């Protein structure tokens, strides 16, 4: 039987795509390694992981963070014995030689149980300020892979290894074509699940006045919850606006666009750096420990992106920012030059090599 590595976590593309990049590198380094994923039924892993060709095991885990109500927290606590039992059963069934937690609801209990069972484990922490779960899990793991070196101070010790963020191999720099003779291209997405606040403001700006974007094209990922809304709002708008529930060809979309309007998740920021595209970042206000704003501020301080807080984002500011970049393409060039410095190639390879050292 082949040796097995389990990657636990998911929920959003920000957790999953780096995890898949690591899985691919593990199998490139050692073709005999099996990689299994552990997630929850409510996360995007149920769609993304099987499509990537990896076995997926589901466990029931609830939410305990500050963004949920007391009823949800109580339900999560009541589910905990079942979650622990599910983790133990999977550990016995799959017999992993190594477990990597990448964040998301399934990561915590599975990594903790693996540590208690004496299975070598590691965490991948993408944010400048680690969440509570990973600050607890540091006691159960051998390695802690971090994106931002400054986040290491919250863990301490020799476990911390700065590696950067694993970016999907397909995401790479493609030079923008000359603006002369074509329309300005804007890619809009609020993460893998969409962002209603961004959607509504963009929709208002586009439908309220159509004259300002006759020479601009928009591709808008709205997420599964706003598809009906988008169908109604963008009906009759014409070919300048295309909307989608989900974009699974992001490498082509980055190559196509001149400007990106997005949230501030670390996976998105790292892909902006790898693709060398200018971004207008609207941090999610409810993100745990305000990590999206802290991530974005790191780029803003290096003139590698523009940030606007959601409370200041409206149809007028959206229109003004888009036209500013369209009319001043030198700003795009400046940001593209600066943002590429945040891309650290080889992160997945380094993580895979360290994991494989612990696989007999």
Do the beta carbons of residue 97 and residue 120 sit within 8 Å? Answer: yes
pLDDT in the model for residue 308: 98
Tokens (6 digits) for 248: 């699974």
**Selection from 217, 220, 214 nearest residue 202 by Cα:** 220
Residues 6+ away with beta carbon under 8 Å from 144: 122, 123, 125, 134, 138, 152, 155, 159, 160, 161
Q: Average pLDDT per run of 10 along the chain, which is 360 residues long? A: 89 88 95 96 91 94 59 60 87 97 92 96 89 90 90 88 87 91 96 83 96 97 93 92 92 97 91 96 88 91 97 98 98 97 90 93
3-state SS of the chain? CCCEEEEECCCCHHHHHHHHHHHHHHHHHCCCCEEEEEECCCCCHHHHHHHHCCCEEECCCCCCCCCCCHHHHHHHHHHHHHHHHHHHHHHHHHCCCEEEECCCCCHHHHHHHHHHCCCCEEEEECCCCCCHHHHHHHHHCCEEEECCHHHHHHCCCCCEEECCCCCCCCCCCCCCCCCCCCCEEEEEECCCCCCHHHHHHHHHHHHHCCHHHCCEEEEEECCHHHHHHHHHHCCCCCCCEEEECCCCCHHHHHHHCCEEEECCCHHHHHHHHHHCCEEEECCCCCCHHHHHHHHHHHHHCCCCCEECCHHHCCHHHHHHHHHHHHHCHHHHHHHHHHHHHHCCCCHHHHHHHHHHHCCC
Tokens (6 digits) for 271: 């892909």
Residue appearing with tokens 């996976």:
267
Look at the alpha carbons of 126, 132, 136, 140 in this order and tell me if their dihedral is positive or negative.
negative
pLDDT in the model for residue 194: 64
CA 28, chain centre distance (Å): 23
Tokens (6 digits) for 55: 């076995």
Look at the alpha carbons of 174, 179, 182, 183 in this order and tell me if their dihedral is positive or negative.
positive
Burial level of 311, CB count in 10 A (0-12/13-18/19+)? Answer: exposed
> Where does CATH 3.40.50.2000 sit in the chain?
4-166+345-357, 184-342
Do the beta carbons of residue 276 and residue 173 sit within 8 Å? Answer: yes
Q: What is the CATH superfamily name and number for domain 184-342? A: Glycogen Phosphorylase B; (3.40.50.2000)
Long-range contacts from 135-140, C-beta under 8 angstroms, 24+ separation: 136/108, 137/101, 137/107, 137/108, 137/111, 137/112, 139/115, 140/111, 140/112, 140/114, 140/115, 140/116
pLDDT in the model for residue 192: 61
* CATH 3.30.9.10 holds for 4-166+345-357: no
């Amino acid at each position: 039987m082949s040796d097995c590595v389990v990657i636990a976590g998911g929920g959003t593309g920000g957790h999953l795509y780096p995890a898949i990049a690591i899985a691919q590198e593990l199998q490139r380094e050692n073709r005999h390694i099996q990689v299994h994923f552990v997630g929850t039924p409510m996360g995007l892993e149920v769609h993304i992981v099987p499509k990537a060709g990896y076995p997926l095991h589901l466990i029931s885990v609830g939410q305990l963070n500050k963004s949920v109500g007391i009823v949800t927290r109580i339900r999560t606590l009541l589910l905990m014995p079942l979650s622990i039992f599910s983790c133990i059963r999977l550990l016995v069934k799959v017999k992993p030689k190594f477990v990597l937690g990448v964040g998301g609801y399934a990561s915590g209990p599975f990594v903790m149980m693996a540590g208690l069972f004496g299975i070598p484990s590691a965490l991948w922490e993408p944010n400048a300020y680690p969440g509570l779960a990973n600050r607890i899990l540091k006691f159960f793991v051998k390695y802690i892979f971090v994106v931002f070196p400054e986040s290491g101070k919250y863990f301490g010790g020799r476990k911390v290894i700065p590696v950067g963020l694993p970016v999907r191999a397909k995401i790479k720099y493609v030079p923008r074509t000359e603006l002369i003779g074509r329309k300005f291209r804007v890619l809009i997405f609020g993460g893998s699940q969409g962002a209603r606040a961004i959607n509504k403001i963009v929709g208002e700006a586009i439908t309220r006045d159509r004259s300002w974007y006759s020479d601009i094209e928009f591709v808008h990922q709205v997420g599964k919850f706003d598809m009906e809304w988008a169908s109604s709002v963008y009906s009759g708008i014409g070919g300048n606006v295309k909307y989608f529930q989900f974009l699974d060809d992001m490498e082509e979309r980055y190559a196509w666009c001149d400007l990106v309007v997005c949230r501030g998740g670390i996976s998105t920021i790292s892909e902006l750096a790898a693709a060398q595209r200018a971004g207008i970042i609207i941090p999610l206000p409810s993100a745990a420990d305000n990590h999206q704003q802290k991530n974005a501020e790191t780029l803003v301080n290096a003139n590698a992106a523009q940030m606007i807080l959601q409370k200041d984002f409206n149809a007028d500011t959206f229109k003004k920012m888009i036209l500013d970049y369209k009319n001043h393409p030198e700003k795009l060039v400046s940001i593209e030059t600066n943002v590429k410095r945040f891309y650290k190639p080889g992160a997945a390879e380094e993580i895979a090599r360290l994991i494989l050292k612990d696989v007999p």
